[in-house]
Each structure stands twice: as C-alpha cells, then as structure tokens.
Amino acid sequence: MMGVTVAKADGAGVLFVCGIGGFLGFASACMLSALDRFVPVYSKTTDRPALYGAGVGTAVGAVVGPKANLGRYMIEALNPSLPEMDFGFPLGVLAGVLIGSFFGAITFSLAAKLRRLSK
C-alpha cells in the first residue's frame, strides 16, 4: 500500500516496496526456522486474543487514523513535499492500522493473561 501511495506514474515504487517486503519476509522466515532448530522459541498454542486484538485494532485504526490527522504527521516525517490533500488520507489509514494492530494485540493479549491469572 505504501508503494502504491507514493509511487510515480511508472510504478517503480510499487515494485521496489514489494521487492523489499518479499526479501524481508523471506529472510525472516529463514532466520526463524534456523533459530527454531537450535532454540525452540515457539509455543504449541496460538495466542488467539492477540490475533483478535490485532484485528480489532486494525479496524479501529483504519477509521481513527485519518480523523486524527496521522497522515499529516507521516507526510511531515517522511516526505514534506507530498501534498496533504492527496496523500493525507491513505497515509493516515496506514499509520492508524499499524499503530492500532500493534496496541490492539498487546492490549488483548495482556487482558486475557491477567484474566487467566485472576481466576
């Protein structure tokens, strides 16, 4: 999405961002599989409350991000020459989704663990 948002007419930005994402995803998968052979770091169960929290945080962040003018802050931080009228909304959605999913996953996971401990 970031590549589509800031790409020029030729689409090279989209290919560049997709290539970086694919490379980082592949490198992370290789690193984690090698790490798992030596140090088993994964648990046998999935943290479902964290997944639900990430989903809720994504939905809430996509709505709240543009309304909180997060796009303006991203434009100021990343590329001040971008016109806010054109790029403020998509960058606000992107920032809201990233922040919302992160904090939603942490909040729901901690709440579920505290609830289990209190029983």
pLDDT confidence tier of residue 109, bands split at 50, 70 and 90? confident
pLDDT for the residue 2:
54
pLDDT confidence tier of residue 44, bands split at 50, 70 and 90? low
Enter the pTM of the model.
Answer: 0.62
pLDDT for the residue 12:
64
> For 29-51, what is the mean pLDDT?
75
> Is the model's pLDDT at 90 over the cut of 80?
yes
HEC letters along the chain: CHHHHHCCCCCHHHHHHHHHHHHHHHHHHHHHHHHHHHCCCCCCCCCHHHHHHHHHHHHHHHHHHHHCCHHHHHHHHHCCCCCHHHHHHHHHHHHHHHHHHHHHHHHHHHHHHHHHHHC
pLDDT for the residue 58:
92
- What are the sequence ranges of the domains in the chain? 1-42, 45-119
